[in-house]
Amino acid sequence: MNAQRPAGQDPWDDRIDGDADGEPAFKPLTREEAQDLKARLPKLSAWSLLAWQAVAGAVMVALWGLLSLQGDKTWSALFGAVSVVVPNALMAWGLTRRSTMDGGTPLLSFFAWELVKIILAVAILVAVAAGFPSLSWAALLSTLVVTLKANWLVLLRQGRIRK
């Protein structure tokens, strides 16, 4: 991404006059364009994403239970889903509470709840690894990954990600 710069131009200046198709590299939206874009995008709440994650986790738990017919693998899959859904539910609850916030508080609140989510997820996984001797790592990790990736499927389904 080394664009040609005119002689004497500051090398730290990221402004480029145009792209290959002649369009400006960045065009700020007008108020009307921003409102139109917001109206075209469907509303997406943290709770709907969490519901999709829970559904994906439940499907994986059912698949592990039906295909393996082993309780240990089913429990391991359940622990994988819980280690994603419960921390995300706590974070969603924390971020969607109504409170009086000044300008910098929402960002600080996001980082604080993200830290709580990570600590809780790690604590769940450590507790399961230490307290469940017949743990199936394949079941736990595959369910954990599918449950985490359910967000991408929701965004793809709603057209927020280009194919």
Residue ranges per structural domain of the chain: 46-157
Q: The pTM is what?
A: 0.68
> What is residue 15's predicted lDDT score, i.e. its pLDDT?
56
**What is the per-residue pLDDT across 57-83, written as a single tens digit (0 to 9) for each?**
999 999 999 998 888 899 999 999 999
Residue 43 is given by DSSP the state: P
CA distances, 31 to each of 23, 25, 39, 41, 43 (Å): 20, 19, 12, 16, 19
Query: Are the C-beta atoms of 143 and 124 separated by less than 8 Å?
Result: no
Q: What is the mean pLDDT of the chain?
A: 80
Sign, CA torsion 149/153/158/163: positive
Enter the tokens of residue 56.
């994906």
Find the range with the poorest average confidence among 26-30, 63-67, 115-119, 120-124: 26-30
In 3D, which of 110, 122, 61, 111 has the Cα closest to residue 86? 122
Average of pLDDT values for 29-57?
82
Neighbours of 13 (CB within 10 A): 8
> What is residue 100's predicted lDDT score, i.e. its pLDDT?
52
In 3D, which of 95, 96, 87 has the Cα closest to residue 147? 87
